[in-house]
Chains A and B, each alone.
Chain A
Amino acid sequence: DTGVSQDPRHKITKRGQNVTFRCDPISEHNRLYWYRQTLGQGPEFLTYFQNEAQLEKSRLLSDRFSAERPKGSFSTLEIQRTEQGDSAMYLCASSLERGQFFGPGTRLTVL
């Protein structure tokens, strides 16, 4: 399967813990995006990488959030000191030009 993959698919954590998610984009895609989707809403943009450079971050991305794409391939999204409000589906997408391809998402539940 050559689509976008994300790991883990589900994560349950306690408030205050740190969590890290991984995204592996489609191999030839140089653009990578992270979005967050809460129940009943459309995805909201968090951050964007072109190759290894992080070129845009949403105001939704507080200081507790950090994302990396060290070699321009896979990406990680870390949330420090998780809060209950961080519970959501975290989506990764990749593209060459317009039209992004999404992974299955990581569902985070913060207890």
Chain B
Amino acid sequence: GDSVTQMEGPVTLSEEAFLTINCTYTATGYPSLFWYVQYPGEGLQLLLKATKADDKGSNKGFEATYRKETTSFHLEKGSVQVSDSAVYFCALSSRGGATNKLIFGTGTLLAVQP
């Protein structure tokens, strides 16, 4: 079945460092891909999405590019801030299914130190 694999955390960085969180997926066809973020004590928020190959999703300085050839959707940010500390989830939604249900990875905890 469809699945998402994320790099294990925690990822600990200093402020202004470059961030990469790896995400790869297994799916039949061409799914839509998402990154969600969960700040401490808050609900899941949609961070960015991409719906077809080579699309780049971006928001709040974060970017991710849909790579069909490597089945990847890695999250990047050029300069992290302490306020970016959160858990980041990669997810997919299969095309062709009626529900568009999301399949999530296990999440990656990011801790940014001042």
Residues of A within 8 A of B (CB): 4, 31, 33, 35, 40-45, 48, 50, 55-56, 91, 93, 95, 97-105
B58 interface residue per 8 A CB criterion: no
- How far, in Å, is B1 (CB) from chain A's closest CB? 11
Is A101 in contact with B103, judged by CB distance below 8 angstroms?
A: no
Nearest neighbor of A31 in chain B, beta-carbon distance:
B100
A101 to B32, CA, bound (A): 15
Q: Given the complex, which residues of A lie within 8 Å of B99, measured CB to CB?
A: 33, 48, 55-56
Residues on B facing A (Cβ under 8 Å): 4, 32, 34, 36, 42-46, 49, 51, 89, 91, 93, 98-107
In the bound complex, what is the Cα–Cα distance between A45 and B1 (angstroms)? Answer: 14
Structural contact, A56 and B98, CB atoms closer than 8 A: yes
Q: A55-B98, A55-B99, A98-B32 are in contact. Are A42 and B105 (CB under 8 A)?
A: yes
- A102 touching B100 in the complex, CB below 8 Å, given contacts A42-B91, A42-B106: no
**Shortest distance in angstroms between B43's beta carbon and chain A's nearest beta carbon?**
4
| Contact of A91 with B44 in the complex, beta carbons under 8 Å | yes
- Name the residue on A nearest B91 (C-beta): A42
8 closest cross-chain pairs (CB), A and B: A42-B104, A102-B44, A104-B43, A48-B99, A45-B101, A56-B99, A102-B43, A98-B32
Q: In the complex, which residues of chain B have a beta carbon less than 8 angstroms from the beta carbon of A98?
A: 32, 49, 51, 93, 100
Say yes or no: A45 contacts B98, CB within 8 Å: no
The residue from B43, B45, B51, B107 contacting A42, defined by CB atoms under 8 A apart? B107
| Residues on the A chain within 8 Å of B100, using CB | 31, 95, 97-98, 100
